[in-house]
Amino acid sequence: MKFDEYKISPEVKRSLEEQGFKKPTDIQYRAIPNILNGEDVLAIAQTGTGKTAAFAIPILHLMTLARNEKGVKVVVMVPTHELAIQITEVFHELGKYTKVKTLGIFGGVDQAPQIKQLKHGVDIVIATPGRLFDLVSQGHLVLSNIQILVLDEADLMLDLGFYKDIRDLLRFLPRFRQTLFFSATINEKIKKMAYSIVRNPIRIQISPKDPVSKNVTHSVMSVNMDDKRYFLERLVKENQDSKILVFVRTKVRAERVFQAMERVGITSLTMHSGKEQQDRLAVMNDFKSGAFKILIATDVSSRGVDIPNVDYVVNYDLPDIAENYVHRVGRTGRGTNKGIAVSFCAPEERLLLEQIEGFMDKKVNVFEIGKSEYADTLASTEEVNTNWKQLIREAESEAAKRKKKNKK
């Protein structure tokens, strides 16, 4: 079935055609008709499967039919600022030929412009919990007319401790509404929460055998923790025209890797929770546009965020949570594009690698590094304070030559 066969508004179809949407993905094919029919939906699908469009397309159509009804009619709750911005952009793009108004509200920025837009009239709000409750408590956002509630990336929301916020939100919403619950994974905690807020939901689960996209080639190499920066330096310099997203475990690590790259003449950006929201927005825009080719980030950027044309994902540190590996490498190889994911695994991270392989139920391909190649990587760095490694290598080479000469 093609999108032009769906019973959705011509304005939405026009946007879909402009953006090259021809046939729905599996999650879109199974979710859209049920949402259009007013059913509650519990959808489980991995990253990169088109989840956002699966609920944005039918919601925009339904809102074109409800234009005469005043007030905010849809709330989409998400866990991070970046995801709120991205989903808002999707709604704007798909709904640009409609009169449906969408607003993203999140913290870290001045709330005055958000309040101003709410006063002028908004149909759909994409929100993070903190700012949502701020505006509700101040009386700027009224939720009594909500027709549809969407919880997106619900598994991450629970990890970040938003369960109480979700329960509190329900107190402000009409009892009879449509609820859409989207998550990358399902466990007992998520299942219990989901079934407590939906009514006889249609359950949709898209679970490919291999959760990593077929468009992504991924491998792991054994690298000592203190040597990772030299291998990152080499990878970047051998792929200077590539867009590279580097994941580290903490914001402190992000800044240290940034400084290490700076010492060898590599310009990069960092993205983590320690940055102000305006800075995070600027960083994401610079990386998306290609103004900067290297972004060093914590897992704040691994979930849901669609960054175009990422050539390489580098797991500088393996993630503490196994499923985050899938979300990280899902930042490359999106759509029809090909991507490469490379992981540096130190001896002390072996257990994390085993957990990742257990989660995916398959081994990650091992890229073998010979002793000579490993030594060459360390010796070739431009970092001034490691010149001693080059000197040692040269001394060892000279000693070997002398030993060979003496044997003769």
Tally of domains within the chain:
2
Q: 135 lies in a domain?
A: yes
- Give the separation between CA 222 and CA 238, rounded to whole angstroms: 19
Span 202-223, average pLDDT: 80
pLDDT at 167 over 90: no
Look at residue 179 in the predicted model and tell me its pLDDT: 94
Residue 227, pLDDT score = 95
pLDDT number for residue 28 = 93
In this structure, the answer to whether residues 196 and 224 fall within a common structural domain is no
Q: What are phi and psi of 263, to 5 degrees?
A: -65, -25
380 lies in a domain? no
The structure tokens listed for 4 are 């032009």
Find the mean pLDDT for residues 241-269.
94
The residue among 383 and 376 whose pLDDT is bigger is 376
> Do both 180 and 308 map to the same domain?
no
Q: Indicate whether 200 and 247 sit together in one domain.
A: no
What is the mean pLDDT of the segment spanning 131-136? Answer: 92
Give the pLDDT mean for 332-343: 84
236 and 184 co-located in one domain: no
Classify the C-alpha dihedral 46-48-52-57 as positive or negative: negative
Q: Are 200 and 315 in contact (CB under 8 A)?
A: no
Strands (E), 128-277: 148-151, 178-183, 202-206, 216-222, 244-247, 269-271
Q: How far is CA 28 from CA 2, 52, 59, 266, in A?
A: 11, 9, 12, 41
CA 61 to CA 11: how far, in whole Å? 9
* Range name among 26-40, 199-213, 368-382 with the lowest pLDDT average: 199-213
Residues 70 and 196 in one domain: yes
Task: Inform me whether the pLDDT recorded for 390 exceeds 60.
Answer: no
Q: How far apart are CA 177 and CA 148, in angstroms?
A: 6
Mean pLDDT across the chain = 87
Do the domain assignments include residue 393?
no
| Per-residue tokens: 351 | 């257990």
Instruction: Decide: 79 and 156 in contact? Cβ < 8 Å.
Output: yes
Give the burial class of 237: count Cβ atoms within 10 A of its Cβ; 0-12 exposed, 13-18 middle, 19 or more buried: middle
pLDDT of residue 386: 52
Assess contact for 181 and 152: CB atoms under 8 A: no
pLDDT in tens, 23-63: 998 899 999 999 999 999 999 876 667 889 999 999 999 99
Q: State which residues form the domain around 339.
A: 216-369
State the Cα–Cα distance between residues 270 and 286, nearest whole angstrom: 11
Regarding whether 162 and 231 lie in a shared domain, the answer is no
Residue 288 Cα to chain centre, angstroms: 13
Residue 309 reports pLDDT greater than 80: yes
What pLDDT is recorded for position 330?
Answer: 82
The 3-state DSSP class for residue 149 equals: strand
Query: Within this chain, do residues 297 and 188 fall inside the same structural domain, yes or no?
Result: no
**Residue 161 burial by CB count (10 A; 0-12/13-18/19+): exposed, middle or buried?**
exposed
In a domain, 377, yes or no: no
pTM value is: 0.72
19 and 114 together in one domain = yes
Are both 36 and 94 inside the same structural domain? yes
Q: Scan for tokens 């001045």, then name that residue.
A: 110
**Does residue 358 share a domain with residue 283?**
yes
Tell me the mean pLDDT in the region 212-216.
75
Q: Is the pLDDT of residue 381 over 90?
A: no
Share of the chain above pLDDT 90, in %: 52
Whole-number pLDDT of residue 186 = 76
Structure-derived torsion over alpha carbons of residues 268, 269, 271, 277, reported in degrees to the nearest 10:
180
Beta bridge partners of 183: 44
From residue 142, give the alpha-carbon distance in Å to each of 40, 120, 121.
Answer: 22, 13, 11
**150: closest CA among 213, 66, 68, 62?**
62
**Does residue 214 have a pLDDT over 90?**
no
Q: Are residues 175 and 235 in the same domain?
A: no
What SS3 class is residue 340? strand
Local confidence band at 331 (pLDDT 50, 70, 90 cut-offs)? confident
Note whether 245 and 311 are within 8 A (CB): no
Residue 190 covered by a domain: yes
Evaluate whether residue 383 is within a structural domain. Answer: no
314 membership: H or E segment, kind and range: strand 312-315
Look at residues 180, 206, 232 and tell me which one is the last residue of a structural domain: 206
Q: Which two tokens stand for residue 298?
A: 């914590």
Residues 6+ apart with CB under 8 A from 325: 315, 318, 319, 343, 356, 359, 360
Question: Considering 186, 206, 226, which residue would you say is the last residue of a domain?
Answer: 206
pLDDT recorded at residue 120 = 92
Average pLDDT of the segment spanning 180-187: 82
Candidates 366, 339, 337; CA nearest to 354 is 366
In a domain, 405, yes or no: no
Alpha-carbon distance of 380 to 234, in angstroms, equals 8
Reported as a single tens digit per residue, the pLDDT across 82-110 is 889 889 999 999 999 999 999 999 988 88
Give the end-to-end CA distance of the chain in Å, rounded to a whole number.
78
Highest mean pLDDT range out of 15-19, 172-176, 319-323?
Answer: 15-19
Please give the residue that has the higher pLDDT: either 140 or 303: 140
Contacts of 395 (CB under 8 A, 6+ apart): none
- CATH number for position 269: 3.40.50.300
* Residue 388 domain-assigned (yes or no): no
Question: What span, in angstroms and rounded, lies between the C-alpha atoms of 2 and 24?
Answer: 7
Q: Which of 184, 206, 228 is the last residue of a domain?
A: 206
pLDDT at 47: 66
**Do both 364 and 255 map to the same domain?**
yes
